[in-house]
Structure 1
């Protein structure tokens, strides 16, 4: 509870703006005179003369949806791959599954995104696939390491002798045993995906240079920071709140499943 309430507050505001914001406003607005303010523009306008409030309401959906989709796609591949590597009895099969992932780990994720984007110019869906691709190797190694111990337990051999299916043995038993570790990694993975989406958008990958996007707003409005700070500060704060709140929520969820510590009797306390 100590971390859940701050995490929910930090995540709730940017998440509500990202998912519901476009419902409360029309198009981001026509281009006008840059960096103006007035009754119709409570937070001023951006570098292209568009209303900052409208840009903020439209600019979070790409960051949130792409990061969530990339995390889900990464685990959809990494989970069965890591469990299969942990449960196999053949070292060569395990090497065949895991060694190609080491090659991908040797390439910096942002560099790989930039190289692929320079050739194919991906949109939002392509960016989600790219971020999922760079997250699969590390996530699969985490799954394999977390499942290695439970996979070698006598209970797994007993399930095999009873004729249980691979899916029930791997996911239902081994995967459930290491669920806390995977949940902690999923929080880090989602935060990393948010960082990559924002960085890619900051560099113009996956979005157009004048798109209504929080990261694009930070990048394109930096030259006018001293004139119109809200066009930079508001989207930057929303991105930071989203990533920080996500980690707090996952930490709170993990603490909720931890057994409470028993305090020693009063006479034994120092």
Structure 2
């Protein structure tokens, strides 16, 4: 891969690094994301780089502290959703128990048909204030898409001549998955996981916007947009800073996926054709 081709992903990488190291950087500066330092919606400048928020807290400090949980939730949800998708999708695509697979897929389709936000609210409301529950809920609402994509790709690979020859030779299922299915499945699985990571960050931000997960005064980019929207005219950075970081993250990861697909012609089936 040419480095300049992958340079489109640098902004997204920087956002992720900022989110993961933000609390550590904040601790080095001895700052606080929860203590007011001035009046509400103080404009940027005068020693406050991004101004203050609705309660007079340092916006920069809250930006540094507010992305860690969101990104970790998205990463955890993406990993869990990928495990679910790969496990169920691969089994459903290669199994001879078609009736059982059809029942499992109907359950998956039922979950996919449910509106994501109400389902997220229902799942997260059971244990309010728990960030791990939000991550699990995001994985559940996003996993059906992964199951369908993986299943269709596995079915296509299992129908190839070399896969049929392996079946005719009597190769074991695990051997067929390892040598005949896995090489062609990995590019699609990685691309699908990247798309779901973008979706997971947006859902995690929406969850924080709705008040799910750790309660205030804990900082969160999604909650910052809701809290400070009333003061957008006075200090736009209190809303724009977290919103722009989420936009850069989404665009950067999507652009990186596009570049990766261009570098692997013929090996990456278009996901929209598989869904």
For normalisation by structure 2, the TM-score amounts to 0.86
- Alignment check: 8 A CA contact 1:210 1:216 kept: no
1:20-169 maps to which residues of 2 (within 5 A)?
20-26=21-27, 27-32=32-37, 33-37=39-43, 39-121=46-128, 123-160=130-167, 162=169, 164-169=171-176
Match of 1:7 in 2: 9
CA deviations over 1:165-209 (Å, ceiling 9, x no partner)? 433322442132133333332222111111111111111111313
- Alignment check: 8 A CA contact 1:83 1:175 kept: no
- Alignment check: 8 A CA contact 1:18 1:64 kept: yes
- Alignment check: 8 A CA contact 1:67 1:197 kept: yes
Task: Tell me, in whole angstroms, the C-alpha distance in 2 between the residues paired with 1:138 and 1:178.
Answer: 15
Task: Tell me, in whole angstroms, the C-alpha distance in 1 between the residues paired with 2:161 and 2:20.
Answer: 47
Deviation at 1:251, TM superposition (A): 1.3
Unaligned runs of 5+ in 1: 260-270
Unaligned runs of 5+ in 2: 267-275
Match of 1:18 in 2: 19
* Pair 172,190 (structure 1): closer, same or farther in 2 beyond 3 Å: farther
Match of 1:225 in 2: 232
Deviation at 1:104, TM superposition (A): 0.5
What is the RMSD computed on CA atoms of the aligned residues? 2.0
Task: Tell me, in whole angstroms, the C-alpha distance in 2 between the residues paired with 1:172 and 1:218.
Answer: 48
Find the residue that maps to 1:25 and give its secondary structure: helix
Where in structure 1 do 4 or more consecutive aligned residues deviate above 6 Å?
Answer: none
Deviation at 1:211, TM superposition (A): 2.0
Task: Tell me, in whole angstroms, the C-alpha distance in 2 between the residues paired with 1:29 and 1:129.
Answer: 27
Moved more, 147-156 or 57-66: 147-156
CA deviations over 1:122-145 (Å, ceiling 9, x no partner)? 511111110111111111011111
Match of 1:267 in 2: none
Find the residue that maps to 1:74 and give its secondary structure: helix
Task: Tell me, in whole angstroms, the C-alpha distance in 2 between the residues paired with 1:22 and 1:246.
Answer: 23
Match of 2:186 in 1: 179
- Alignment check: 8 A CA contact 1:75 1:136 kept: yes
Task: Tell me, in whole angstroms, the C-alpha distance in 1 between the residues paired with 2:148 and 2:222.
Answer: 30
CA deviations over 1:219-246 (Å, ceiling 9, x no partner)? 1000011111111011100000001101
Moved more, 169-178 or 49-58: 169-178
Task: Tell me, in whole angstroms, the C-alpha distance in 2 between the residues paired with 1:196 and 1:167.
Answer: 35
Task: Tell me, in whole angstroms, the C-alpha distance in 2 between the residues paired with 1:66 and 1:186.
Answer: 14
Task: Tell me, in whole angstroms, the C-alpha distance in 2 between the residues paired with 1:155 and 1:198.
Answer: 45
Task: Tell me, in whole angstroms, the C-alpha distance in 1 between the residues paired with 2:221 and 2:5.
Answer: 26
CA deviations over 1:84-128 (Å, ceiling 9, x no partner)? 111112321211321211110120111100122233325111111
